Amino acid sequence: MLQFGLRVTDISFNELHSNGFVWYAPGMHDFLETPYPLHPAPVHADRLVTTRQAAEICGVHASTVKRWCDAGELVCEHTPGGHRRIDLDVLLAFAVHQGVATDLDPFGPHAAAVWIASRAAVGARRLDPVVELWLGWLLRDEPAYLAPTMGYLLRAGLPLTTLFDAGIMTLLQQVGAAWYAGTLRIGDEHRVTEQVKDALHALRLQLAPARSAQAADDRVAIVASAPGNRHHLGAFMARILLEARGWSVRFLGADLPADELAAQQRSAGACLVCVSFSTPQTLADARRLAQILADESRKGQAFHLVLGGNALPPEAAAIEAPGLASCRALPSMAAFEAWLEQQFPGPRPEPMRGGRR
């Protein structure tokens, strides 16, 4: 029987092939190349998984993982307390060899990094490692991993609002800062922004089954970017969040004139209008739009107005617009969701399905 990932002691590692990828059969001194890393060097603690975690990754029962280890098919280490710990790279290579599909398969050589980053995101709500992965992929023009990572994080239990606030928004801020500092060309900034938009579209499609199951015909929202705002990713994330909560959304994109916002609200009978602002727009722009929409609201159905975006200072919370059902300026997607739960109580979004998690 082949023992997968065995630490070899009777042959110097310098004798191995330069890529360090080996199969080892006990009692044999011939090594067969395999395209999966076994990392004979000491493994960082972040790359060691428990039997329960290994079972979750492979979609099997923990007893199956223990049986693999006890049979010598899957190498593990033991803590001073006798608990098994498995090298993540060895586990993933073992899964490939066994024909076991995992949620990490779409990430290829980045699988271990995605798992480690997801642990920080879901466990500690720390998305810096995820953002670092995303930024690296985008700068190398490898955007195909973005949407699968988003879906993987949601299936692992990360709230959608955290994905948006601490993940996507942080990523966009770093891209903008790199462009402003002159380390990213404007063409690359446009490319990266479009690739993030594509990933968000793919995420929306992944969330489609939950959206259709929760459809609420009486909850209609208009979502758009403010007049003069040519960016609409913030508004698009608001759309995804609303649809995940069962809303019917009429999404109108970027730079929509105020009178068209009012016209669309009337034609859809929407009870909610959401508008996104971005720099260099100002507090005065937000006040002006709120007053125009308040004047329109007096002519027909009163509706709620929510303003958001990085152009709005804290003072925007004090905007008053008599004639509207309410007017709120909210600083984040989490604050938006909290307001929705208070103003329109109902079931929370269902977690994503379809994976092994």
More confident site: 247 or 26: 247
| Residues contacting 79, CB < 8 A, separation 6+ | 85
More confident site: 299 or 67: 67
Residues 333-345 have a mean pLDDT of 94
Residue 347's pLDDT is 61
Q: Determine the straight-line distance between the first and last CA of the chain, rounded to whole angstroms.
A: 30
For 13-102, the fitting CATH number among 3.30.830.10, 3.40.1010.20, 1.10.1660.10, 3.60.110.10 is 1.10.1660.10
**How far is it, in rounded angstroms, from Cα 167 to Cα 207?**
18
Residue 29: band (very low, low, confident or very high) from pLDDT cuts 50, 70, 90: very low
Token pair 């602002």 in the structure block, residue = 277
pLDDT of 278-290, one tens digit each? 988 999 999 999 9
Residue 217's pLDDT is 59
Residue 192, pLDDT above cutoff 60 = yes
Residue 26's pLDDT is 33
Residue 10, pLDDT above cutoff 80 = no
pLDDT of 114-163, one tens digit each? 999 999 999 989 999 999 999 999 999 999 999 999 999 999 999 999 99
For 210-343, the fitting CATH number among 3.20.20.100, 3.40.50.1820, 3.10.20.90, 3.40.50.280 is 3.40.50.280
Residue 27, pLDDT above cutoff 90 = no
pLDDT of 53-109, one tens digit each? 999 999 999 999 999 999 999 999 999 999 999 999 999 999 999 999 998 999 999
Residue 208's pLDDT is 74
More confident site: 332 or 9: 332
Q: Which of 12, 41, 5 is nearest to 29 (CA)?
A: 12
Residue 7, pLDDT above cutoff 70 = no
- Topology match between the domains 13-102 and 210-343: no
Say what percent of the chain tops pLDDT 70. Answer: 82
Domain range summary for the chain, segments of one domain joined by +: 13-102, 109-206, 210-343
Residue 299: band (very low, low, confident or very high) from pLDDT cuts 50, 70, 90: confident
Residue 345's pLDDT is 83
Q: Work out whether the CA dihedral 250, 254, 260, 265 comes out positive or negative.
A: positive
Residues 323-343 have a mean pLDDT of 95
pLDDT of 242-275, one tens digit each? 999 999 999 999 999 999 999 999 999 999 999 9
Residue 76's pLDDT is 94
Residue 17: band (very low, low, confident or very high) from pLDDT cuts 50, 70, 90: very low
Residue 50, pLDDT above cutoff 70 = yes
pLDDT of 302-322, one tens digit each? 999 999 998 899 999 989 999
Amino acid at the residue 146: L
